[in-house]
Amino acid sequence: MSTQVNAIEVKALKKSYKLYKKPSDRLREILHPFRKKYHTQFEALKEISFEIPRGQILGIIGKNGSGKSTLLKILTGILTPTSGSVMVNGKVSALLELGAGFNPELTGLQNIFLNGSLMGYSELEMSTKLNDILSFADIGEFVHQPVRMYSSGMFVRLAFAVAINVDPDILIVDEALSVGDIRFQQKCLRKIREFFERGKTVIFVGHDLGTIKNFCTHCIWLNEGSLIASGTPQNVTNDYTSFMVYGMTSDVKDSQVLDVGQWIDLSGFESFGDREALIEAVRIKDENGLTPALFMGGEQISLDLKISAKSFLANPILGFVVKDRLGRHIFGGNSYVNETPIESIPPGSHTYQINFKFPHITNGDYVLTLSLAQGDQEDHVQKHWIHDCFIFKVANPALKYHNGDGLVFSQGLSFLRTQ
């Protein structure tokens, strides 16, 4: 009977810091005769436990400040835990934040050998790996220049080339890859997959849930130092999307909130307009009455809107816009342009519904913006415009190329030879 070997085992790991209001408080605390505390305790990690079997790609997700980077620094030995234990089986190579492990005053070539020596390789051993590193980094003669002169893209090229070509047992990649151009990102992902196919272990941290979902074999979600969920990338990213959309507290460990069309209170969102009429809440539903955590395209979607008007609105215009992460308007509509006019909105509270078929668009992150105005398309008064009130992800595995040509995919295409 074979026993599964873990690459990493983390048990009841805790990391806490003492935070002082000013530097002198540290000395005052040390010298105080009655041991008075001048600090507050901050727990970056709260007794988390998990195991990573060899030959897995583990994705770690969580909003900024959730403890991801602290965890990686403990796994790589940069930080020591306050309590708990970490067992790492094998040689670790890590690509953390920009600047980690490189001396800015040394040239790229000198830093290659410096990093190799930190990994335990001799100068002769690193010389045998040098051509592969330089070929992968592809930064030309800049390798002979001090790295303080490098752009962030050049820096990450060299850092990743070193990290992957020293042939570690465990490769840890933080969000540093996000600064590279798309060709280099794809090159890195191919190299990581080759690394995984050789039975090595990869820990991958990022905010791109599409990459986590389609690239990793397992996923964990950290929030405010706690381990919230561990499981398949599909399930964990769905839970995380639910958290980011609805703001669930950290002790909620399921996404049942997505099984009903829950109203989202819009009172705290950034908005503008004369506010004589307000869009107070929105509810997003598919044809089954559920709020999708992920969209694929082709769904029949309903937007239910709770609207309150202080006075009578003649010729109201109700609409929405879906924007990508760069703020580009991808699609949308309103009651005026789409020739489905709303005759009027009387004073009081009302519910309106917008129905549309979700188009097939490029996989990625998107936001929903809502608008209520009075007048016509050319001449109107904005009553209430609400920015980015719903964050969602499009992740269609049927789209072979996640960053294909264009942003909206044509439907019903056929390609025929006519002669």
pLDDT (tens digit per residue) in 276-299: 999 999 999 888 888 887 888 888
* Per-residue pLDDT reduced to its tens digit, 78-121: 889 999 999 999 888 887 765 566 888 899 899 899 888 877 78
Q: What is the CA radius of gyration of the chain?
A: 26
Span 6-14, mean pLDDT?
Answer: 92
Spell out the residues 6+ positions from residue 34 whose beta carbon is closer than 8 angstroms to its own: none
The CA-based dihedral angle spanning residues 30, 33, 38, 39, taken in that order and rounded to the nearest 10 degrees: 60
Query: Does the pLDDT value for residue 259 go beyond 90?
Result: no
Could you give the 3-state DSSP secondary structure of residue 162?
helix
Residue type, 54: R
Percentage of the residues of the chain whose pLDDT score is greater than 90: 27
Closest CA to 391 of 246, 256, 290: 246
Which tens digits make up the pLDDT trace of 189-200? 788 888 888 889
The CATH number of 260-394 is 2.70.50.60
Helix (H) or strand (E) holding 350: strand 348-357
pTM: 0.59
CATH 2.70.50.60 location in the chain: 260-394
The beta strands (E) that lie in 234-312 are given as 264-265, 271-272, 277-285, 294-295, 300-309
Q: What share of the chain is helix, strand, coil (3-state, %, to 5)?
A: 25, 35, 40
Residue 323: Cβ within 10 Å count: 17
Distance between start and end Cα atoms, the chain: 64
Question: For residue 251, what pLDDT is reported?
Answer: 38
Please state, in angstroms and as integers, the Cα–Cα distance from residue 301 to each residue in 286, 291, 354, following that order.
5, 9, 8
Instruction: Please give the CATH superfamily to which domain 56-246 belongs.
Output: P-loop containing nucleotide triphosphate hydrolases (3.40.50.300)
Q: Are 238 and 213 in contact (CB under 8 A)?
A: no
pLDDT at residue 232 greater than cutoff 80 = yes
Q: Provide the pLDDT for residue 1.
A: 40
Which residue, 417, 398, 409, 72, is CA-closest to 214?
398
Residue 262, burial from CB neighbour count under 10 angstroms (0-12, 13-18, 19+): middle
**Per-residue model confidence (pLDDT) at position 4:** 65
